[in-house]
């Protein structure tokens, strides 16, 4: 077990070094170029359409909490929400964020409030734009699936800690407009693959901050992940070759 902790510590140290390096490089250079990802193009289109048509965007942050394993998904969802809210706060119907956890809902309210303040539209801010639709996975899905018809939603963005129940939210949202979905849960990904118009597969969810230009740390983080990903691939291939040759 000590060896395992040692390997974990090494991995964390390498990732931290890569992150710091990428962050320092990114701060001096221009914004890095990433490969084309249609879901984020669709998100920009939906956002513009929402502002133009005066309809609402629904950002489903999932039922995960900040203390659970999938808290990273919730944080990514909040970062995405900040960009969406900044652009969509000028819409007749500002974006609506739903969550199944009280702390995440509080953070969503804070993100929305800051976005409205940045757009000089604080008078239009409503705290209940960040709301809890139900506690627990099923309770959250049951409440969130009624958000699209009740709130005149034309685009549903499922980004956060959500399981297979995401299919219910996505299916409900698809009847009103487009659906973009991404989660860390593998079962949730399969559900979103068949129900969402633009699913985010695997860890593509972590790229949303960089693609939406949240801040340079997100771009640096994505570059650091790429570095580590190549290291992991090289390690897997190398170990497989060594094991096949009987050297280990």
Partner 1 sequence: MRFKASVVVAILTGAIMLLGYFLPGIFFASVRDVMLRSGMIIGTVALLLGVGNLLQVHLRKIREQRPGHLYSIFMVISLFSVFAVVVLFGPAHPYSVWVVSEIQRPLEIGLMGLLAVVLLLAGVRLLFRRQALGTLVFFLTAFLVLLGTAPLPFISLPFLEGLRNWIAQVPAVAGARGIILGVALGATATGLRVLLGFDQPYER
Partner 2 sequence: MADVRCPMCGKPNAEEAETCLYCQARLKPVGPGAAPGGDAEPVAAGGEPAPDWLSRLRDQGSPMPGGTRELSGEPESPTDKEASDWLSRIRTRADDESPSPSGATSPAEDVFGRGKPAEPSGPSPAFAPSAGEGVPASAATPLAEPASEEDEPEWLKRLRARRAVEGTPGAAPAPSFPAPQATGEGLPPDWMHAPHEDLATGPTAAASPQPAGSEGGMPSWLSDVQPPAPRPTPVENVPPAAPATPAAFASEDDELRGAYSEKEIPDWLVSAREEAAAPVAGLAGGPEAPTETPPLEELLAPGVLPEWLTAGSSPTPPPMEALGAGLEQAVLPPWLRAMRPVEGPLAPKGEAGEAEERVESAGPLAGLRGVLPPKVEAEVGRHPPVLPSVLDIQPAHAAHAELLQRIISTPESRAVPRARRRPQARPWGGLVVLVILVAAMIVPGLTGTSVFARPSVVAVETLQTANLINSLPLDRPLLLAVDYDAAASAELEAAALAVLDHVMTIGAPIASVSTRPVGPALAERLMARTRAAHPQYQAGINYLPLGYLPAGPIGLRAFAANPWQAVYAQSAPESWDAGLVAALHASSNFSAILVVASDPAVLQTWIEQVHTAVPSVPLVAIVSAAAEPLARPYYESAFPSVQGMVVGLAGAEAYECLNALDPASGRCGRPGVADSMWDPFGMAVLGAVLILLVGGLASVIRRGVISMRRTSHE
Applying the rule CB under 8 A, the residues between 10 and 29 that interact with partner 2 are none
In the Cβ-directed half-sphere of 21, how many Cα atoms lie within 13 Å?
12
Applying the rule CB under 8 A, the residues between 225 and 244 that interact with partner 1 are 225, 228-229, 232
Sheet with 153-161: strands ordered across: 130-132, 96-99, 56-62, 153-161, 178-182, 198-200
Residue of 60, 75, 84, 153 that binds partner 1 (CB under 8 A): 75
* Alpha carbons 76 and 160: distance in angstroms, whole number: 7
**Helices marked H in 29-93 — which ranges?**
38-53, 71-88
Query: Taking the CB of residue 124, how many other CB atoms lie within 10 A of it?
Result: 14
Residue of 15, 174, 227, 231 that binds partner 2 (CB under 8 A): 174
Residue 208's nearest CA partner among 147, 160, 148 is 160
Q: The dihedral of CA 166, 172, 174, 179: what is its sign?
A: negative
DSSP 204: G
3-state secondary structure of 160: strand
Q: Counting contacts by CB under 8 A, is residue 224 touching partner 1?
A: yes
Part in contact with partner 2 (CB under 8 A); list of ranges 15-23, 108-116, 132-140, 198-206: 132-140
Residue of 37, 110, 121, 124 that binds partner 1 (CB under 8 A): 110
Q: Counting contacts by CB under 8 A, is residue 152 touching partner 1?
A: no
Q: Counting contacts by CB under 8 A, is residue 3 touching partner 1?
A: no
Kindly tell me which of 13 and 239 has the beta carbon lying closer to partner 2: 239
Kindly tell me which of 194 and 241 has the beta carbon lying closer to partner 1: 194
Kindly tell me which of 119 and 138 has the beta carbon lying closer to partner 1: 138
Q: Counting contacts by CB under 8 A, is residue 164 touching partner 2?
A: yes
* Alpha carbons 228 and 235: distance in angstroms, whole number: 10
Query: Taking the CB of residue 6, how many other CB atoms lie within 10 A of it?
Result: 10
Mask of contacts with partner 2, 175-214, x by CB under 8 A? Answer: xxxx------xxx---------x-----------------
Binding-site ranges for partner 2 (CB under 8 A): 1, 4, 46, 48-49, 52-55, 65, 67-70, 135-138, 154-155, 163-164, 174-178, 185-187, 197
């Amino acid at each position: 077990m000590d060896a395992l902790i040692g390997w974990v510590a090494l991995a964390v140290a390498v990732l931290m070094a890569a992150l710091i390096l990428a962050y320092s490089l990114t701060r001096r250079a221009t914004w890095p170029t990433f490969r084309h990802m249609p879901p984020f193009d669709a998100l920009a289109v939906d956002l513009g359409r929402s502002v133009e048509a005066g309809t609402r965007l629904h950002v489903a942050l999932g039922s995960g909490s900040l203390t659970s394993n999938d808290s990273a998904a919730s944080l990514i969802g909040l970062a995405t929400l900040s960009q969406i809210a900044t652009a969509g706060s000028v819409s007749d119907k500002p974006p609506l964020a739903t969550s199944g956890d009280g702390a995440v809902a509080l953070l969503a309210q804070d993100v929305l409030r800051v976005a409205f303040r940045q757009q000089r539209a604080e008078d239009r801010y409503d705290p209940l734009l960040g709301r809890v639709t139900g506690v627990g996975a099923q309770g959250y899905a049951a409440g969130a699936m009624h958000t699209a018809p009740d709130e005149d939603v034309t685009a549903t963005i499922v980004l956060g800690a959500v399981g297979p129940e995401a299919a219910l939210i996505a299916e409900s949202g698809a009847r009103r407009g487009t659906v973009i979905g991404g989660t860390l849960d593998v079962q949730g990904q399969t559900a979103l693959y068949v129900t969402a118009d633009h699913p985010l597969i695997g860890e593509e969810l972590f790229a949303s901050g960089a693609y939406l230009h949240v801040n340079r740390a997100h771009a640096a983080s994505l570059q650091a992940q790429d570095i580590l990903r190549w290291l992991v691939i090289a390690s897997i291939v190398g170990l497989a070759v060594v094991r096949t040759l009987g050297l280990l």
